[in-house]
Chains A and B, each alone.
Chain A
Amino acid sequence: MTAATETHTEHDHSHDDHAQHGMSNAGYIRIAIILAAMTALEVSTYYVDFGALFLPVLLVLMVVKFFVVVSYFMHLKFDNKLFSFCFYAGLFLAVMVYVIALATFKFFAA
């Protein structure tokens, strides 16, 4: 195999990897529709009284939307675990530090 042919083959292989990492465009559109529906549900809490479910529903929808975008649109679900570690380490640290900081100021006691 010549150098040029081998390079071409490896390049194709690289793009095959890209295809395996992601989803089809139709899959992305499905995800976007689900995200739009969840946003509509979030906004509906402004107009409809959800009672005691108001806060849990909003927080759950927020967290689910966050992880759907990170997992599918940012490809973290399909990518190398090192990328997940780099991001989730920062996220975990941020959540822990600021939850403790807010607790120190008795934010959750109100």
Chain B
Amino acid sequence: MSDVAVHEADHGTQGHTTTTGLSNNKVGMWLFLGSECLLFGGLISTYMLYRGRVSAGPRPGNVFDIPFTSVSSFILLMSSLTMVLAVSAAQNRDDRGTTLWLSVTALLGATFVGGQVYEFTAMYNEGLGFTTSLFGSSFYTLTGFHGVHVTVGIIMLMSLVGIIKRSTIPGDKAEVVELIGLYWHFVDVIWIVIFTLVYLIPA
């Protein structure tokens, strides 16, 4: 096998044989995240327009539990730290550290989603359904989309833990962890924006 062939087999042909000299997977992930800015931008803008449109049911200030959501936000923020520690461990070829930090990240993410389910339930019990008002519809759509993104991230993290334990990742393992890490951090930065614009700044 030639040097190039050995090298490609070791790195899954990514990163060194592309026209840009960069990993196509990574370029694709950044393009995807750039497009996600447009998706969440649309949802956030819609919420900003409709948050004052309350024809029936409670107003934003009556249903938001800021102390509870602050704790949830802190948990999601800390999951970004554990995710970056997982990426660091993967780059150091520390499989045990990688699976540990990935699992902690998934656990923190699951705690956040659990908090969101609790929050939605409490709001529904206070009379804010999905079709109660334009505020309710735009709020549930925005935060629900974000919650789905976090849930997809948790599924990817747990799948990655299983795959690493079976040692079946082809190519550069650290890059796979990094790509999922990019997605996870993006979900976190979107929540940074949502937390401020939706929860902390009153309608």
Interface residues of A (CB under 8 A from B): 3-4, 6-7, 10-11, 14-15, 18-19, 22, 25, 28-29, 31-32, 35-36, 39, 42-43, 45-46, 55, 58-59, 61-62, 65-66, 69-70, 73-75, 80, 82-83, 86-91, 93-95, 97-98, 101-102, 105, 107
Contacts and interface: CB of A to CB of B under 8 A. Distances in A.
Contact of B44 (A39, A66, A93, A98): A98
B48 interface: yes
B5 to A, nearest CB: 9
Contact of B185 (A10, A70, A101): A70
A87 to B, nearest CB: 5
A44 to B, nearest CB: 10
Contacts of B3: 3, 6-7
Interface string B1-15: 111001100110001
B27 interface: yes
B170 to A, nearest CB: 15
A87 B87 contact: no
B80 A32 contact: yes
B116 interface: no
A59 B196 contact: yes
Contact of B88 (A28, A69, A70, A86): A28
The main secondary structure of chain A at its interface with chain B is helix
A77 to B, nearest CB: 13
Contacts of A32: 77-78, 80-81
B73 to A, nearest CB: 6
Centre residue among A58, A70, A87 by max chain B CB count within 10 A? A87
A90 B196 contact: no
Contact of A46 (B11, B66, B81, B189): B66
Nearest to B38: A94
A35 to B, nearest CB: 6
A28 to B, nearest CB: 5
A94 B40 CA distance: 9
A98 to B, nearest CB: 4
